[in-house]
């Protein structure tokens, strides 16, 4: 499964979910994707609801950014990459 996210506004993103199953599995007469699709649809909707709540909190006047936890090395690295590129663009 892949997700493609298309930001449309500061408060709206379109999410495209695509399913990828191995060809050898798909040709089996017993192949059914419904259970996997249903499970991940439920899981994704829960994650999106949490993300929406987080975004609402970030938009609050009371929000103050804090440090990342040790478990968040990838988001931290992404933020640093964006900040570095922003600094480079300002120099140019």
Contact 14, 5 (CB under 8 A): yes
Contact indicator for 15, 5 with CB cutoff of 8 Å: yes
pLDDT of 81 above 90: yes
CA distance 9 to 52: 13
Specify the pTM.
0.57
CA 15 vs. chain centroid, Å, equals: 9
Q: How many percent of the chain have pLDDT more than 90?
A: 67
Q: Residue ranges of the alpha helices (H) in 1-92?
A: 23-26, 34-58, 73-91
What does the pLDDT average to over 81-87?
A: 94
């Amino acid at each position: 499964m892949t997700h493609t996210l298309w930001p449309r506004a500061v408060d709206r993103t379109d999410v495209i979910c695509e399913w990828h199953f191995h060809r050898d599995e798909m040709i089996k007469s017993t192949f059914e994707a419904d259970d996997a699709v249903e499970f991940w649809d439920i899981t994704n909707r829960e994650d999106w609801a949490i993300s929406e709540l987080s975004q609402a909190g970030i938009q609050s006047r009371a929000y103050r950014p804090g440090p990342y936890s040790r478990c968040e090395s990838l988001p931290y690295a992404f933020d640093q990459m964006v900040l570095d590129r922003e600094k480079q663009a300002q120099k140019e």
